[in-house]
Amino acid sequence: MSSQLDLDHPLFQRVSHWINLINFFILTITGWFIHSPYPGMPMNLMRNLHFIFMYLLIINGIVRFYYSFFGKNKDYDTFLINSQDIKTFWPQIKYYLFIGKHPETGKYNPLQKTAYIALPIMAVVQAVTGFILYKPVELANAAGYFGGLAAVRGIHYLFMWLFMAVIAVHLYLVFTSAYEQFLFMFFGKKRKEKSA
């Protein structure tokens, strides 16, 4: 018999989540070292890893986006912000700041939805700015739209920090208020209930 967690997080979604975790981890580490290398660092290795995992992130994102609309367990509607979300946006912030009660929400609260909508957009910006940095001569005109190569580098670096901030908040909230979801998302298991 399927539980609510099985329905909320089918296997495909969990695997996609794992892939994203690995991608973001490698991209952050390699991006950091590309931005701030130390003497003797194998920069070709760092760049190659960065681009391999960037392609994996893009592919995973496209597949996940397609699955959200056309997959067996399509779930695009769970991410759409509705009128109830607008009403509970401020109460949800107050709850997270420990100054209000937990509002009634659906599968995802309005702040989660905002983050889940923003992350793919941020990933596209990272991919575009990353390609410009990788091919600065060939994509000089594209760099101009962002204000020049230095601005592109700054945007790419800033978005890395934004990703890290979103992921850090996500991890904090998972471990403090959704630990069962964490166990199921990563291990497909729930905690065994203690017998009386």
Grade residue 137 by pLDDT with cuts at 50, 70 and 90: very high
Grade residue 4 by pLDDT with cuts at 50, 70 and 90: low
Map out the domains of the chain as residue ranges. 4-187
CATH superfamily, with its number, for domain 4-187: Transmembrane di-heme cytochromes, Chain C (1.20.950.20)
- Rounded distance between C-alpha atoms, residue 111 and residue 90, angstroms: 9
Model confidence pLDDT, tens digit, residues 15-49: 998 999 999 999 999 999 999 998 999 999 999 99
Model confidence pLDDT, tens digit, residues 86-133: 999 999 999 988 899 989 988 888 998 999 999 999 999 999 999 999
Strands (E) located in 10-60: none
Are 167 and 17 in contact by the 8 Å Cβ rule? The answer is no
| Cα Rg of the chain, angstroms | 19
